Amino acid sequence: MTKFQNKVLVFSLLFFSSAFVFAQSGKQEELEARRKELSREIQQINKLLSSNQSKKKSEVSQIEDLNHKVSVRENLIKVTNQQANLLTREINTNQKQITTNRDELTLLKEGYAKMLQKAYKNKNKQSRVMFLLSATNFKQAYKRVQYLNQYADYQKEQADKIKIKTIALQEANTNLLVQKEAKSKLISENKKEQKTLEIERKQHETIMKSIKKDLNKYTAQIKSKQKEARRIDGQIDKLIRDAIAASNKKAGVKKSTKSKGFALTAEARALAADFLGNKGKLPWPVEKGVVKLRYGKQPSPVDRNLTINSNGVRISTEKGAKVRAVFNGEVMGILKPKRSNPIVMIKHGNYITTYQNLGKIFVKTGDKVKTKQEIGEVFTNPTTGETVLKFRIDKDNKTQNPSSWIFKM
């Protein structure tokens, strides 16, 4: 074996000893990042809920909170289980490789020992000289010199192999211990989460029993809230339609064309392209918050036969939370619906972001705003202590799922 081949072998052994341990580390890192996100979300939910403990929340609101907590915790347990299962597979693979390495090391050591014994018997200089002098010609003597040199190199190569294999085995054993400790920690954490989940489920069951005693009353309340939400959505939709019509009129588009989208200037088109280019990376409209209600159709947490249709998301946040524009744009309008709190709408080309349930407003119609600029403050219900922002995104006159646009929503 040449010196180059020896170096290649040494490199490959070192590489493999490190690489096989982390064969699935990318997936493990992805799961760990998700687990940390869910843990932070639970901490944030607990913080928000504890800050409102002195207030009298409705049973429906309590069910919504518990539903969200249970859902997030179930996801956390699921992800932690996936991590533990992945570690189990990695540990099994590594244990097999350690056994293989150990067997190979034993064979190398046995071969090396035999070679040393043979070398010891022929180690005196006189036997080497005689081996060279007994050659029948110069060419044979030269070949014998080469043989002795190659044999010495081979001895060194075998010693290097043993050294590298030993290091690889030690590293694999060390990493295996780390993996086993990590798995043990994950299992322990999961047991705690399971106990907490059972407590939350029992709380949910207790409240639901109380609600079911007068389910019609609560169903009527939900329907009333849905009706009010549709009324406000109708006002938002009308403002968007009027803005589209005004943009088309200004651009000279005939009414007979019946355009459903904004007639954009070059500047507005560029802004819309920037907004689209940041899909999935837009900042949250509040610095801290958790999504209590998702976008789209979903069953009511109180009456599963009742469907809730949400044109946006409801974000629970802390008292005094400032509302931030999620992107550069222009304040398209400010609505002040009856029996509801003010709404700010910002236009980003042909995209509109809407911020509902504000207690304070810091902007006016026509203002240019920048990304993360504070445009108001979320209203805090003095009775329940809840601070909830309703947020939606539209493209022209069609609603979008905010979770597809906002970073890690």
Report domain extents, the chain: 3-212, 227-404
Listed residue (288, 294, 282, 260) closest to 401, CA to CA: 294
Q: What does the CA dihedral 345, 349, 350, 351 come to, rounded to 10 degrees?
A: -50
User: Which segments of 213-260 does DSSP mark as H helices, in order?
Assistant: 215-251
Q: pLDDT tens digit string along 390-406?
A: 999 999 999 999 999 99
For the cut 80, the answer to whether the pLDDT of residue 331 exceeds it is: yes
Rounded-to-integer distance, Cα 401 and Cα 393, Å: 7
Instruction: Give mean pLDDT, residues 307-322.
Output: 94
Beta partners for residue 352, in sequence order: 347, 394
In this prediction, residue 156 carries a pLDDT of 72
CATH number for the region 227-404 comes to: 2.70.70.10
Residue 112, phi then psi, degrees to nearest 5: -65, -40
Indicate the pLDDT class of residue 174, thresholds 50, 70 and 90.
Answer: confident
pLDDT of residue 157: 75
Name the residue with higher pLDDT: 196 or 147. Answer: 196
* Beta-bridge partners for 290: 316
Q: What is the pLDDT of residue 352?
A: 98
> Among 148-157, 170-179, 349-358, which is the least confidently predicted range?
148-157
Q: What is the pLDDT of residues 269-281, one digit of tens each?
A: 999 999 999 999 9
Cβ atoms of 278 and 327 closer than 8 Å: yes
Collapsing DSSP states into helix, strand and coil, what is residue 399? strand
Residue 24: what pLDDT?
A: 56
Residue 13 above 60 pLDDT?
no
Q: What is the pTM of this model?
A: 0.73
- The model's confidence at residue 327, banded by pLDDT at 50, 70 and 90, is very high
Q: Give me 335's structure tokens.
A: 């609505």
Which residues make Cβ contacts (< 8 Å) with residue 249, sequence separation at least 6? none
How big is the chain, counted in residues? 409
Above 90 in pLDDT, residue 6? no
What band does 344 get if pLDDT is binned at 50, 70 and 90? very high
At residue 251, the pLDDT reads 86
Q: Over 60: is that where the pLDDT of 299 sits?
A: yes
Residue 343: strand pairing partners: 335, 356
Supply the pLDDT for residue 14: 46
pLDDT tens per residue across span 220-257: 988 999 999 999 999 999 999 999 999 999 888 876 55
Angle at 387 between CA 385 and CA 389, to 5 degrees: 160
Q: Render the burial of 233-243: b for 16+ CB within 10 Å, e for the rest.
A: bebbeebbeeb
Amino acid 152: pLDDT = 64
What is the C-alpha to C-alpha distance for residues 177 and 169, in angstroms, rounded to an integer? 12
Q: Is the pLDDT of residue 19 over 70?
A: no
Q: For 2-11, 67-76, 131-140, which range has the lowest pLDDT when averaged over its residues?
A: 2-11
Mean pLDDT of 152-165: 71
Q: What is the mean pLDDT of residues 173-194?
A: 87
pLDDT at residue 129 tops 70: no
In this predicted model, what pLDDT tens digit does every residue of 54-100 receive, in sequence order?
Answer: 556 778 888 888 888 899 999 999 999 999 998 888 888 877 877 77
The pLDDT of residue 10 is 45
For tokens 């910002």, the residue is 346
pLDDT band at 23 (very low <50, low <70, confident <90, very high): very low
